[in-house]
Amino acid sequence: MTMSNQEPVERLVAEWQSEHPGLDFGPMALFARSNRFVSLARRKLETALAEHELTVGEFDVLSALRRAGEPFTLKPSELADRLMVTRAGITARVDRLEERGVVARRRDPNDRRSEPIVLTDEGRRAVNDALVAFLAAEAELFAELTPTEQTALDTLLRRLLAPTTHLRSQALEPG
């Protein structure tokens, strides 16, 4: 296989190996493929949700409220913690969703930051409909793997992520 016929990560690793033959580029290949998969997955999920006029971030907010169960209400700080994003990131998302009528704030004249966010009936319908498309897109992403391979991948990812579970207090903004 010539270099121009190689898959992009193989080409990247081959180029580095030719420049530094004594180094191990295996981790670089894993990281590059992981990044490529995440980019592909994000585009696929964004496309699936766009058909429901939602962004991934907005879907995350609606999903967190829906998963909270009756009365489908969370404080902004609880939303931020569940989604591992900053409080400011939550405020911007909630503002957009409130304009669309899919969430509402229970007003607290003393403290806007602690006003509970409520999923409206329209929001519940929207997230339930979008969830079907979201799950289908996710399933399609892993369709090349058998159920056994999917379980093995999940196990490996859990092991890789286990040391980071203590970082929950550090907000992570999605790409």
Cα–Cα–Cα angle for 114, 173, 50, rounded to 5 degrees = 95
| Nearest C-alpha neighbor of 45 from the set 34, 55, 31 | 55
Query: What confidence score (pLDDT) does residue 173 get?
Result: 46
Query: 116 with 105: CB under 8 angstroms?
Result: yes
pTM: 0.79
Query: What are the pLDDT digits (tens) for 108-162?
Result: 666 655 789 999 999 999 999 999 999 999 999 999 999 999 999 999 999 998 8
Quick one: pLDDT band at residue 163, thresholds 50, 70, 90? confident
Q: Where are the alpha helices (DSSP H) in 55-120?
A: 56-67, 76-83, 87-100
Query: What are the pLDDT digits (tens) for 104-117?
Result: 998 766 665 578 99
